[in-house]
Amino acid sequence: MDKIAHAAHHDPACILGRQAGNTNTFILFYSPDTLELRLSDLDVVTQRIPGTDFFIYHGDLTSLPEHYRLSRIDMQQRSHDYHDPYSFAPQISDYDLHLFAEGRHFHIYNILGAHKKRIDGISGVHFATWAPNAERVSVVGDFNDWDGQRHPMMSRGGNGVWELFIPGLDSSALYKYEIRNRDSGEVLSKTDPYAQQMELRPRTASVITEQTDFAWQDEAWLAQRKDSDWLHEPLSIYECHLGSWQRDENNDFLNYRELAHRLVDHVQETGFTHIELMPITEHPLDASWGYQTTGYFAPTRRFGNADDFRYFVNYCHEHDIGVLLDWVPAHFPKDEHGLARFDGSALYEHEDPRRGEHRDWGTLIYNYGRNEVKNFLLAGALFWLEEFHIDGLRVDAVASMLYLDYSREHGDWLPNPHGGNENLEAIAFLRELNTATHELHPGSMMMAEESTAWPQVTRPVNLGGLGFSMKWNMGWMHDTLEYMSKEPVHRKFHHNQLTFGLLYAFNENFVLPFSHDEVVHGKGAMVDKMPGDTWQRFANLRLLYTYMFCYPGKKLLFMGCE
């Protein structure tokens, strides 16, 4: 009882709720800031244990429903009526826990997180999270004054999963997890890694959402996609950052629905087949363009809610435009409310910064060898394909995943068990990712932003490759852009920059990208890279694009380049 009062008990369900005593059954409650606590079904007042915030009821409970109601009068004389959360048994099956521990639960986002449920006729929200090094995990929110003493969660044992069903909660309530580390006693406030909606930045709470019956009308597109072979069909991709493509008259972000109509009109007029969105997974920093993700299962609130984004995808599909999504499994930010040291330990990342920290970006690197972390990422990818009908993912920064010494000095990295610089765990993860997406969603595309000469990136997994559908041809892009930026009189000395790419043009299934990376950080517009006066620059740029569209490989242009 003392541990519960100090919010340090690992399994409050063994103390709270209906318990069997030596002589009779009793019910124990912990209710701070309470004047009176009444068992509504029996219309009796429980007794406060002197000097504590515990209340107890002894007596005949045969007529008491399994899920009894309580009436609480707080210190401000306000009345609260609710079902006792600790009258509900754990809801997660042992089979679900087993699959998660093995890293093979592709729909774990339906188990972990916050989900509206109806149990034995009683509506509420089921919360679950993974925090194996926690001594105590509580649900805190605007419904309990963000007090970690009110709703401590039930531990499911050595697998590290915690869960609690809280009756009576509605959609749109704000919540976080308050986590106490079992070794240090440090108390952390964390957003839900599996939350499907978050507050608009700079606020960081997760938001309870209710599954909606969105009326998808893209059956024809999905059926056609399933039978499509994009390797042998035209593919022209328009890369777009929704936050800066267009805004309203007040310079505020447009809604996903408004963007759908404007973007589809534009890409149809300019002849693109697909829109590739820079990350719209939730992220706290606008300047990161979405590449420092904190909400892997939540479309960013900057442009609307989840159904608004479903409308965006549905509208694109109705007009024969595919939607690709930039997805970032290579690293995650250090924000205190996010995944970093989630339960007070290096949980999603490696403990050793030589494996767990990306020096260039100031971010953390996933521990791909941990089954639960791998499962988190696999489910995160499949979530967008299944719940939002996304047509494919462009996987960011693959090179940084493949090499343990990526952008590191000598002595600042750890070799694999064979002494090499290959990240064997990341390789296994990427193969499993591509296998799962292709098997479960035929016709979907997986594209790798891989900037090195790693072999067989687009070769099938069963033939020893990584299994991607396509790979960005970064070498072609750099050589061609450098050649075209030279004065024509000098180009005859650099024809090798044109011919070299043909030596490997068919080694992989390539996408030819003139992406956002070529026009950011002061690099200037594409036309400004060309030589000559204004007319000559535009003529050179037209020539560059003509050459690109005649060259083997699929095409990608960043917004504005068109």
Q: What is the structure's pLDDT at 498?
A: 93
CATH number, position 15: 2.60.40.10
Domain region containing 464: 219-472
Helix then strand then coil, % of the chain, to nearest 5: 30, 25, 45
For residue 152, the 8-state DSSP code is B
DSSP strands (E only) in 303-441:
322-327, 357-358, 363-364, 392-395
Task: Return averaged pLDDT per consecutive 10 residues of the chain, 562 residues in all.
Answer: 85 86 75 92 92 89 89 92 94 96 97 96 97 96 93 92 95 95 94 96 94 92 92 94 92 95 96 96 88 95 95 98 97 96 96 92 95 98 98 96 94 94 97 97 96 95 97 95 94 94 95 91 88 95 96 95 89
Do residue 245 and residue 388 come from a single domain?
yes
In a domain, 382, yes or no: yes
Please check whether residues 144 and 248 belong to one and the same domain: no
* Final residue before a domain boundary, out of 159, 174, 207: 207
Q: Single out the catalytic residue among 282, 396, 425, 479.
A: 396
Domain boundary among 429, 453, 472: 472
The yes-or-no answer on residue 396 being catalytic is yes
Q: Let me know whether 380 and 311 are in one domain.
A: yes
Q: Are residues 110 and 190 in the same domain?
A: yes
Assess whether 462 and 435 both reside in one domain. Answer: yes
This prediction's pTM: 0.94
| Catalytic-role residue among 449, 450, 479, 508 | 449
Q: How many domains does the chain have?
A: 4
Q: What is the pLDDT of residue 323?
A: 98
- Residue 478: the pLDDT is 95
Q: Rg for the chain (alpha carbons), in Å?
A: 27
How far is residue 412's CA from residue 405's CA, in Å, rounded to a whole number? 8
Catalytic residue list contains 449: yes
Quote the crossing angle between the two packed helices 424-440 and 371-387, to the nearest 10°: 30
* CATH number, domain containing residue 329: 3.20.20.80
How many beta carbons lie within 10 A of that of residue 441, not counting itself? Answer: 21
Domain contains 213: no
Of 315, 364, 358, the residue nearest 339 (C-alpha): 364
Q: How far apart are CA 161 and CA 398, in angstroms?
A: 30
- State whether 311 and 363 are in the same domain: yes
Predicted local confidence at residue 24, as pLDDT: 64
